[in-house]
Chain A
């Protein structure tokens, strides 16, 4: 038979010294520090937002921190994910993050959830924590976290970032609004670029992540004015904070007066993300391998190698014989291309050039192919001196 351990009612001498600058403030004090020690927080995502959150929440003395992530550290993460170092590239993000957090504060109990949060596991994972912090990077997971938090009545500290701009608020606080009250529906896939496509100022997740950390600590302490019913917008370029009012929608399907949603749904479908189709083994007729493009160049074949990336990407690297027309400009600049010419379109990874290929075909271009895998694949398969970004 097991008995539940009583919550700690004292701090060790080591902890008293460690938290000294908290303890001497009446707003925290011994009572507040014990609240932090008895609290549990689930961080979803060990990336841009999760990095500062993990570091500071561990340092602050939260008793138990769970982290959900199944990714591996790569070089492009290091510009902003300060919880990971260069030596951690290739390691699991959870291993790397927890090494750092355990070093900062060995008193924190750390719990790994090395999974993708899904409709099947979300309730079971979230149920075990007092607060949830959303540091994810995609709409399906954000709606999933929201609905699970509303159903389980767990406050959800929300932050999101894009380029130079961030948003922060607290959802699912008793009586307050939820994510669906702010945005009833997600944008269709492809309309809003991700960080990978759109880029992000490395410092930005530090600012927004620490706003989330601040709100989390305030919620635990029960002090100050929580960021409930208010959406803070931050614009790093203008260095301006703005605050907008956010209301609970009485007709919200999950947190409204007469909710219609009582269990988790299929969030990929809700967000219009197509389920992963098995990869077709037969080559797509509209695609061409980078190695074949190289052979064409070496043979001196006459064709247009069309780069549809942005000018600032063209400055990073390019294939020498390519012609640059960014995808967004292509509809206006079709007249610069010969409809009967052979065209091979490429971009960074093949998505934008796929759109360009379709656009050209729809406009009567007869011989257009998409270079498979973009300039990243070119670097892997043809010329490693071309940098990847």
Chain B
């Protein structure tokens, strides 16, 4: 079971949880299992073609999966996945 850290902006779609233990041996499997467990999360993570949205980054530990093997990036039970969406607040 890998630990997935849910960012504040997406907690409303994941029963307000800040982290979830999900099984899967690749980043793609873990994210899919997560979206199956929390269906409301799916459209916020994936586009209509089922691809990860370009304003949502996923890290296995501190590495961006885009620079590893993307969805095929291997995930071990001791790994932590972080979902990091783009946020823009700051001014007003």
Binding site for B on A (CB under 8 A): 45-50, 69, 71, 77, 134-139, 142, 159-165, 167, 182-187, 191-196, 198, 200, 205, 208, 231, 233, 235, 237-238, 242-247, 328
Contact = CB atoms under 8 A, between A and B. Distances in A.
15 contacts: A134-B90, A136-B90, A137-B89, A161-B87, A161-B90, A162-B87, A164-B8, A165-B9, A186-B86, A192-B55, A192-B86, A192-B88, A243-B62, A244-B63, A247-B67
A195 B92 CA distance: 8
B64 interface: yes
Give the 10 A-B CB pairs with smallest separation, nearest first.
Answer: A137-B91, A47-B91, A45-B91, A195-B89, A162-B87, A49-B90, A185-B54, A187-B55, A165-B8, A183-B86
B87 A160 contact: yes
A47 B87 contact: no
Interface residues of B, number: 25
Contacts of B57: 182-183
Contacts of A246: 64
B86 A139 contact: yes
Contacts of B85: 187, 192
Given A185-B54, A193-B9, A238-B18, A50 B87 contact: no
A243 B3 CA distance: 17
Q: Which of B57, B91, B92 has the most CB of A within 10 A?
A: B91
A120 B8 CA distance: 35
Contacts of A187: 53, 55, 85-86
Nearest to A135: B90
Interface in B1-55: 7-9, 12, 18, 44, 53-55
A231 to B, nearest CB: 8
Interface of B: 7-9, 12, 18, 44, 53-55, 57, 59, 62-64, 67, 82, 84-92
Contacts of B8: 162-165, 235
Contacts of A47: 90-92
Nearest to A159: B90
Given A192-B9, A198-B9, A328-B12, A244 B90 contact: no
Contacts of A45: 90-91
Nearest to A166: B87
A161 B7 CA distance: 12
Contact of B89 (A69, A161, A231, A247): A161
B87 A167 contact: yes
A6 B68 CA distance: 50
A244 B92 contact: no
Contacts of B44: 191
A247 B85 CA distance: 16
Contacts of A142: 88
A138 B88 CA distance: 5
Nearest to A142: B88
A136 B63 contact: no
Contacts of A196: 92
